Amino acid sequence: MPRLPDAVLDDCLCNPAAPLAGDPARQYDLGKAQAQEQLQTLKGWLRERLTMLWANRYDALLLVLQGPDCAGKNGVIRRALSGLDPLTLTPSSFQAPNAVEREQDFLWRYRQRLPISGTLGIFNRSYYEALVSDLRDGLCSEAELAPRQAAISALEAALPARRIHPLKCYLQISFAEQKRRLHQRLEQPDKRWKLSARDLEDHRDFASRQARWAEVVGSSHTPAAPWYVIPADHRWLRDLLIASLLARELEHLALDWPQHPLPFSHEDVERIACDPAH
């Protein structure tokens, strides 16, 4: 199976003592062409296993994508997951909560979009924004952070009972790479629409924002719901790493095609074909 080896994937496992201390530009001795070819092969394997997941409709996967602006959360969905059966995917993108969502418990909108059995749910940003962006935007106070963190821990602790398997990925990029990608967006008409004044503010506050995310990632890394910190300065490596982590999660489920009793036989089909009333 063409996924990356466990040693590479385990190197991305969060170190709670220093969650974002790794080099976001590391390459694991891989090259772009090799990684892109490997990803295409791997996507064929993922397509089959996700179809098995849907056919059995017993387990579900939840891919959580977090990271700073320009880290490539949309890019992962577009590149690493392209070509997979849309029946098996339930992507959700979360921006700042709207007026209706603010009237509910902060976890309400996330609970509504947890994946059903047989699917891969994708959270482009997640409930962890409630511990970082909501504070920055004045949607919660410092005093609310500890109860919110406890509520998130309870939500994740309840996922196994629903046979939902979380895969939490923080896409780590460097300040220099974010700067380069912001310049790219300024230059490309098909990227400019993504820009807002807040992007410049966040770039200016890059170090403090990453320090806060390091606290959140480190404190919410658990054996049942671990974080993987993905080096994302190279898009081609980021995509292969996440596809490989998904493949490993699917391997753990030991999926096969369901063996249900057949609803009819070859003879039944032939009998209809030979029936004069047909």
Binned at pLDDT 50, 70 and 90, residue 33 comes out as very high
Task: Tell me the residue range of the domain where 15 lies.
Answer: 6-274
Binned at pLDDT 50, 70 and 90, residue 191 comes out as confident
> How much of the chain exceeds pLDDT 70, in percent?
98
The answer as to whether 75 is a domain residue is yes
Q: Residue 230's domain is classified under what CATH number?
A: 3.40.50.300
At residue 125, the pLDDT reads 97
At residue 277, the pLDDT reads 64
Residues 6+ apart with CB under 8 A from 146: none
The number of folded domains in the chain is: 1
Say if CB 122 and CB 89 are below 8 A apart. Answer: yes
For the cut 70, the answer to whether the pLDDT of residue 269 exceeds it is yes
Alpha-carbon gap, residue 227 to 12, rounded angstroms: 8
The answer as to whether 38 is a domain residue is yes
Binned at pLDDT 50, 70 and 90, residue 194 comes out as confident
Say if CB 14 and CB 218 are below 8 A apart. Answer: yes
pTM of the model as a whole: 0.95
At residue 260, the pLDDT reads 87
In 10 A of CB 177, how many CB atoms?
18
The answer as to whether 1 is a domain residue is no
Higher pLDDT, 267 or 164: 164
Say if CB 128 and CB 150 are below 8 A apart. Answer: no
- In this structure, of 147-151, 185-189, 238-242, the range with the lowest mean pLDDT score is 185-189
Binned at pLDDT 50, 70 and 90, residue 276 comes out as low
Higher pLDDT, 62 or 276: 62
Alpha-carbon gap, residue 108 to 110, rounded angstroms: 5
| Interhelix angle 197-204/175-187, nearest 10 degrees | 160
Binned at pLDDT 50, 70 and 90, residue 278 comes out as low
At residue 136, the pLDDT reads 93
Say if CB 121 and CB 162 are below 8 A apart. Answer: no
For the cut 80, the answer to whether the pLDDT of residue 87 exceeds it is yes
Binned at pLDDT 50, 70 and 90, residue 274 comes out as confident
At residue 127, the pLDDT reads 98
Rounded mean pLDDT of the chain? 95
